[in-house]
Chain A
Amino acid sequence: MMVVRLLYFAWLRERLGCAEEEVALPPGIGTVGDLLGWLRGRGGAYAAVLTETARIRSAVNQDFASDATPIRAGDEIALFPPITGG
């Protein structure tokens, strides 16, 4: 089991009803894309919200990431919509 910290922002946070959580991932989850698939498998809001992959961006340890970015135990992984600041 690999424990990571997940952060959600903007409408992802609202629609999932969660800003932050720690999850224990089963073996075989090695990338952001794997993580998204595993989260969708939880069903409910996760299945509904995390299928909108074209509107979801990610960061691993506060650096922008892609589905292919590797994840490791203890990582901080954030999921959020395309940014709209400035």
Chain B
Amino acid sequence: MAFIRVGPEDFDLGTEMAALRAAAGDIGAVASFIGIVRGGAAAPMTAMTLEHYPGMTERAIASMAAEAETRFALSACRVIHRTGRIPLGGQIVLVMTACGHRQAALDATAYLIDWLKVAAPFWKKEHLADGTDIWVEARNADDSAAARWQTP
């Protein structure tokens, strides 16, 4: 059973890994991904706000985590996705998986972050240095990244 948290609180990688290992038992590999608010190429950005659909978001993540646990024979899995305003350099999302061997842990982590980007209802708004706010447009590249997992 995956651990899932959606909310404004930040997370600490060491604390989360200790919790993951406590839940996992005897494992040989842990892999993780952390998404971070970056500056923005086109216009300088100072922060980002993450909006979500309470209820549906948690359900969608639970569903993809359960799928990953089965498909990659995970011993444990943690997904934390923050909401609200996050400053430049702040952590947005953590995916962490544990299992017997490295390849399944690495693949399960990539699988989860690829699906999170297209199937969990979150919306990003960028706060630019000039005071304007813009909603981020969805990227076709994200759909392609998720689609590669449909033909293993």
List residues of chain A with CB under 8 Å of any chain B CB: 7, 9-11, 59, 62, 64, 78, 80-86
Note all chain A residues with C-beta closer than 8 A to B92: 86
In contact, A10 and B135 (Cβ under 8 angstroms): yes
In contact, B123 and A80 (Cβ under 8 angstroms): yes
User: From residue A4, how far is it (CB to closest CB) to chain B in Å?
Assistant: 16
In contact, B53 and A7 (Cβ under 8 angstroms): yes
Interface size class of B (residues with CB under 8 A): 20 to 34
Most buried by A among B119, B121, B124, B135: B121
User: How many A-B Cβ pairs are below 8 Å?
Assistant: 67
Question: Which residues B107-146 have CB closer than 8 A to chain A?
Answer: 113, 116-125, 135-139, 142
User: CA separation between A62 and B50, bound complex, in Å?
Assistant: 19
- In the complex, 22 of the A-B residue pairs with CB atoms within 8 angstroms, ordered by the A residue number, are A7-B53, A9-B53, A9-B123, A10-B135, A11-B135, A59-B53, A62-B55, A62-B59, A78-B53, A81-B123, A83-B123, A84-B123, A84-B124, A84-B135, A84-B138, A85-B50, A85-B93, A85-B116, A85-B123, A86-B81, A86-B92, A86-B117
User: CA separation between A81 and B122, bound complex, in Å?
Assistant: 10
Note all chain B residues with C-beta closer than 8 A to A85: 50, 52, 81, 93, 116-117, 120-124
